[in-house]
Amino acid sequence: MEYRFLLCDDMEEHLYVLEENINSILKDNDISYICHKTASGAEVIELYSKHKYDIIFMDINMPEISGTEIAGKILEIDPNAIIIYVTSFTEYTTKAFEQFAFQYLIKPIEKTKLTLTLMKAFEKIEKDMLYNNENSFITINKNNKKIKIMNKDILYFEKESNYINIYMINQKTERIRMTFKELMDTIDMSLYLRCHKGFIINKSKIKSISAKEVELFHTGEKVPIGRVYKKEFLNFLVQNEN
């Protein structure tokens, strides 16, 4: 992935120092990026509207229009924008975090702090991309609300009477009223295997398979294999050996 940066500071020397530090960090981590710089707050809004940058570094103490005002306008365009404030002053901290700024860095910026901030920003971007990709999650209805659950977090589904229990790697469990047929019509079955009349497991969570059960990663739980489903499991094993 190639990340897009926008840097804004009315002091051009600060812009170049920040760009050099970002360039050094990303080269060390073999990360591709495009970086645009501007000393004009008004131009930030115009550029963001056209290019929708992944990360914005914004000086707060700007002439004509403050960095927080600019950020407010960007957040109207995209409430999920990642804005990292850069300033020599600490008195703006409260205002910055009231706007849910991603981070607040004090000049001169420590490279270690900048590195940590960038890595956290990249992690958020990747999570958001997964969360917005419909193939990455299932949607369930619970208490008249729609809830997204990432496929990568699901261990297995268990049928219990007219309900289904969803077991996840973070030891969370969701319980929904649904039949297995409805579930199988909802989820991407290329990611899952039905191993028993009462269980469907996540293929990516299979640690080992024996004649009668499947052991799962993360929890070490063992899920039974029904006689009817053994053939499907043998096919799964053969496909994964090739």
Among 68-82, 88-102, 181-195, 198-212, whose mean pLDDT is lowest?
88-102
Name the CATH superfamily housing domain 138-241.
LytTr DNA-binding domain (2.40.50.1020)
β strands within the chain, DSSP E = 2-8, 32-38, 55-59, 82-87, 103-106, 137-142, 145-150, 154-160, 163-168, 173-177, 192-196, 199-202, 206-209, 213-216, 222-224
User: Residues 197-226: what's their mean pLDDT?
Assistant: 91
Among 32-36, 123-127, 189-193, 217-221, whose mean pLDDT is lowest?
123-127
* Residue ranges of the chain assigned to CATH 2.40.50.1020: 138-241
CATH topology of domain 2-132: Rossmann fold (3.40.50)
Task: State yes or no: pLDDT of 192 exceeds 70.
Answer: yes
What's the pLDDT band for 97 if we cut at 50, 70, 90? low
* Contact present, 137 and 127 (Cβ < 8 Å): no
* Mean pLDDT of the residues in the chain: 87
User: Residues 204-217: what's their mean pLDDT?
Assistant: 89
